[in-house]
């Protein structure tokens, strides 16, 4: 086991070594304190649980300790309260401390690489650490989105190899996180959790842990069912977003307002769920999760044509945005060469600073490659680094940039577009900025 690169004196004094049969000091340890793990740790703490909050990154731990993490208001208050109550909330980078927690929840990133192949480096490392630290009586719960069979491969089998009996000595469960960062409408407590266990006793223990803060726990019969449930949820969203984008293009060709169509269809109380078109998808879920399924299916030679096509279309969406901007400029007798283009909102969705996989980054790089001068404004993300290595900072005076075209990519609730003078051409990548005069839809 390694001690991670975190000075113990940054947080609390190091704890003394613990005898093997010592009682657990913490009800739950969260491994990975990112967009999902930190709010989860805070939800457990708010429910009265004693929480060990562990991250491999000392920088991340420092950011959290300095109250600098990107959180919604209620979670910021929870973090304040947690940091003021160190007995029930301990930030650490020392993996040896995991043995002090009755339950260990793994919540590390599961991205894909440049070829859309699952990158399991963080998850493998975290699981290996948790397995090595496990001791009798502990529950291990994987919450990172992953392929079907992963909990068995990375947790259940290695624990068995250590001689621990699953469902008797240790308990193995999977329950994907469903948190929607930045969304104040769905507190973690009100979103039902799905849990599957390696054995019925594991499932029981997993449900008991989740019930500490989740109002509703839905049990399924196996780890694999729980893993696949998350893949269905996010694949469902990906396919429907691809369909919404296609409908936007179809409506554009037929000169029908797509948003009005979607809102009208939404009045049907069954059999329809509204998805809106946009400039592409970003974040750590929709661009990545379906690839965990596709990767696995490819190895098994199982066809998944609908999902494959949806993901291909989604990946192509930023190029479609660039084409649209070229059209708009062309109609004004301009080309992208030396055009001044301003992007409003570069985060992948409203009210977060998260830039991961944000379509805005690809769009900006593509436009600069075409010779445009591109700047951005974003109240949550002050600076960006593009895949090309180019860097930009959010403008403080967007009106002074005198853009030929403004692309509205993401609208945070605190975005102020009052500086738009009504003469600028605005391309509405959100399809829902009807309040902006003179906009054209993507
Ligand atoms: N972001 C979302 O909207 C969302 C929603 C639901 C589920 N998920 C899933 O939750 C998981 C985590 O996503 P996220 O967005 O919170 O990721 P993130 O990148 O924001 O945070 C992950 C954290 O894990 C830490 N970490 C990495 N390896 C570690 C290790 N070996 N030991 C300890 N800490 C380690 C990193 O330092 C980082 O702070 C992913 O599987 C994701 O698919 C994400």
The answer to whether the CB of 39 is under 6 A from ligand 1 is no
The strand pairing partners of 343, in sequence order, are 376, 407
Residue 5 has pLDDT above 80, yes or no: no
CA distance 143 to 132: 18
Q: Would you place residue 9 in the very low, low, confident or very high pLDDT band (cuts 50, 70, 90)?
A: very low
CA distance 68 to 71: 9
* Confidence at residue 263, expressed as pLDDT on a 0 to 100 scale: 97
The answer to whether the CB of 55 is under 6 A from ligand 1 is yes
Residue 258: both structure tokens together: 């797509």
Q: Would you place residue 3 in the very low, low, confident or very high pLDDT band (cuts 50, 70, 90)?
A: very low
Which residue, 129, 2, 4, 107, is CA-closest to 58?
4
The strand pairing partners of 220, in sequence order, are 196
Residue 181 has pLDDT above 90, yes or no: no
* Confidence at residue 187, expressed as pLDDT on a 0 to 100 scale: 84
CA distance 318 to 280: 6
Q: Please, what is the average pLDDT of the chain?
A: 93
Phi, psi of 40 (to 5 degrees): -65, -45
* Confidence at residue 16, expressed as pLDDT on a 0 to 100 scale: 54
User: Probe ligand 1: pick from 34, 101, 229, 282, max atoms within 8 Å of CB?
Assistant: 34
Residue 140: both structure tokens together: 């291990």
pLDDT in tens, 114-171: 899 999 999 999 999 999 999 999 999 999 999 999 999 999 999 999 999 999 999 9
Q: What 3-state class would DSSP assign to 137?
A: coil
Q: Which CATH architecture has domain 222-442?
A: 3-Layer(aba) Sandwich (3.40)
285 catalytic? Reply is yes
* Confidence at residue 282, expressed as pLDDT on a 0 to 100 scale: 94
The answer to whether the CB of 145 is under 6 A from ligand 1 is yes
User: For 119-262, where are the E strands, in sequence order?
Assistant: 139-142, 171-174, 193-197, 217-220
User: Probe ligand 1: pick from 70, 93, 177, 181, max atoms within 8 Å of CB?
Assistant: 177
CA distance 197 to 101: 19
Q: What is the mean pLDDT of residues 84-110?
A: 94
Query: Catalytic residue among 150, 202, 285, 288, which?
Result: 285
Asked if domains 8-221 and 222-442 share a fold, the reply is yes
Count of C-beta atoms within a 10 Å radius of residue 270: 5
- Domain segments of the chain: what residues? 8-221, 222-442
Element (H, E) at 110: none
Q: What is the mean pLDDT of residues 77-100?
A: 93
CATH class of 8-221: alpha beta
pLDDT in tens, 285-324: 999 999 999 999 999 999 999 999 999 999 999 999 999 9
């Amino acid at each position: 086991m390694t001690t991670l690169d975190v000075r113990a004196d940054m947080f609390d004094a190091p704890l003394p070594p613990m005898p093997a049969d010592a009682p657990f000091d913490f009800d739950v340890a969260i491994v990975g304190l990112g967009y999902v793990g930190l709010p989860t740790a805070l939800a457990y703490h708010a429910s009265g649980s004693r929480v060990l909050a562990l991250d491999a990154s000392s920088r991340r731990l420092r950011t959290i300790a300095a109250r600098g993490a990107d959180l919604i208001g209620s979670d910021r208050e929870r973090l304040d309260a947690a940091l003021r109550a160190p007995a029930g909330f301990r930030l650490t980078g020392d993996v040896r401390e995991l043995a002090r927690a009755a339950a260990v929840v793994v919540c590390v990133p599961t991205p894909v690489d440049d070829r859309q192949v699952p990158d399991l480096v963080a998850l493998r490392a975290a699981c290996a650490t948790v397995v090595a630290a496990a001791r009798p009586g502990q529950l291990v719960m994987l919450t990172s989105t992953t392929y079907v069979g992963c909990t068995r491969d990375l947790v259940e089998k290695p624990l068995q190899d250590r001689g621990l009996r699953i469902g008797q000595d240790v308990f193995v469960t999977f329950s994907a996180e469903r948190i929607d960062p930045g969304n104040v409408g769905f507190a973690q407590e009100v979103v039902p959790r799905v849990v599957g266990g390696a054995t019925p006793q594991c499932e029981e223990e997993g449900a008991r842990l989740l019930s500490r803060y989740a109002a509703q726990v839905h049990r399924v019969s196996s780890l694999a069912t729980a893993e696949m449930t998350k893949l269905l949820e996010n694949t469902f969203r990906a396919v429907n977003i691809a369909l919404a984008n296609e409908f936007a293009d179809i409506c554009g060709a037929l000169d029908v307002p797509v948003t009005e169509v979607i809102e009208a269809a939404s009045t049907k109380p069954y059999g329809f769920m509204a998805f809106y078109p946009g400039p592409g998808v970003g974040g750590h879920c929709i661009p990545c999760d379906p690839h965990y399924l596709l990767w696995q299916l490819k190895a098994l030679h199982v066809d998944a044509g609908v999902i494959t096509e949806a993901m291909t279309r989604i990946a192509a969406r930023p190029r479609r945005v660039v084409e649209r901007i070229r059209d708009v400029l062309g109609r004004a007798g301009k080309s992208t060469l030396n055009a001044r283009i301003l992007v409003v909102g570069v985060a992948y969705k409203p009210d977060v600073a998260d830039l991961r996989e944000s379509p805005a980054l690809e769009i900006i790089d593509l436009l600069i490659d075409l010779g445009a001068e591109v700047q951005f404004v974003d109240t949550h993300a002050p600076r960006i680094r593009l895949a090309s290595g180019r860097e930009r900072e959010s403008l403080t005076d967007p009106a002074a940039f005198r853009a030929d075209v403004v692309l509205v990519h993401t609208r945070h609730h605190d975005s102020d577009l009052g500086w738009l003078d009504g003469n600028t051409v605005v391309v509405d990548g959100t399809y829902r900025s009807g309040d902006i005069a003179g906009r054209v839809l993507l």
